Amino acid sequence: MFITFEGIDGCGKTTQLNLLHKYLKDIGYNVLTTREPGSTPLAEKLRNVLLNMEYNISSVSEILMFEAARAELVDSVIHPAICRKQIVLSDRFYDSTIAYQGFGRQQNIDDIKLLNKITIREIIPNFTFLLDIPYSVSLERRFGSIDDRIESTGNAFYERVIAGYRSIAEEEPDRVKMIDATQSKEDIFHQIIQIVKPALPPI
């Protein structure tokens, strides 16, 4: 089983992923968590470049670096873990590139979908939890932390990313479950569990 968490920066992905990880481990599942970009030595190096304010990266290079990080992660971590029947939870996956680079940076979405198809090797999440918050809430939750290269892009960019995520959820309602993430952590987790529990494989 493969579950991904999506949404704009500060939406609470990591919080919910950690709660689900603990819940599944406590009831006896073998769970692996990953983050994008990252979770392999090369992908973590690409993450440092992608988020670093020092670099002025073209939109096309940015897409290709996110895709390269994803290809590394899928090949060396996610695919083998799924073959071992582990439950994999990922903090972001290919929807991020459609939302941020496609909608946010206004790059060609069909081209991104093709690149995603190449990198994911037919690994599609069983569920994707889209934690939906307004940009103002993202700013509140990130108050006091220093913006990285993506976070510094600004309001109009994030409004397009939010709209992009919502359209992905509308296109694929069976996979992408959109949750109002302005609710409490506990209420959000309760909704996630209600969806995940009936679909869990036997231990």
Residue with Cβ nearer ligand T5A (85 or 117): 117
Q: Does 72 bind ligand T5A (CB under 6 A)?
A: no
CA dist 77 → 141, 150, 163 (Å): 30, 25, 31
**Number of residues this chain uses to bind ligand T5A (CB under 6 A):** 25
Element spanning 88, H or E: strand 87-91
Residue with Cβ nearer ligand T5A (30 or 106): 106
In the window 143-162, what residues touch ligand T5A (CB under 6 A)?
150-151
Collapsed DSSP state (helix, strand, coil) of residue 38:
coil
Q: Does 9 bind ligand T5A (CB under 6 A)?
A: yes
Burial of 62 per CB tally in 10 Å (0-12, 13-18, 19+): buried
Q: How far is the CB of 83 from ligand T5A (least distance, A)?
A: 23
Report the distance separating Cα 181 and Cα 141, nearest Å. 12
Residue with Cβ nearer ligand T5A (16 or 32): 16
Residue with Cβ nearer ligand T5A (72 or 151): 151
* Contact between residue 92 and residue 36 where contact means Cβ atoms under 8 Å apart: yes
User: Taking CB under 6 A as the rule, which mask of x and - marks residues 10-49 in contact with ligand T5A?
Assistant: xxxxxx-------------------xxx------------
Q: Which of 184, 198, 201, 202 binds ligand T5A (CB under 6 A)?
A: 184
Q: Does 188 bind ligand T5A (CB under 6 A)?
A: yes
Q: How far is the CB of 156 from ligand T5A (least distance, A)?
A: 15
Long-range contacts of the stretch 82-87 (C-beta < 8 A, 24+): 82/2, 82/123, 84/30, 85/30, 85/201, 86/30, 86/31, 86/32, 87/1, 87/2, 87/3, 87/24, 87/29, 87/30, 87/31, 87/32, 87/201
Report the distance separating Cα 146 and Cα 84, nearest Å. 39
Residue with Cβ nearer ligand T5A (1 or 71): 71
Q: For the chain, how many residues are written?
A: 203
Q: Which of 185, 194, 199, 200 binds ligand T5A (CB under 6 A)?
A: 185
Q: Which residues bind ligand T5A (CB under 6 A)?
A: 7, 9-15, 35-37, 66, 91-92, 96-97, 100-101, 141, 150-151, 181, 184-185, 188
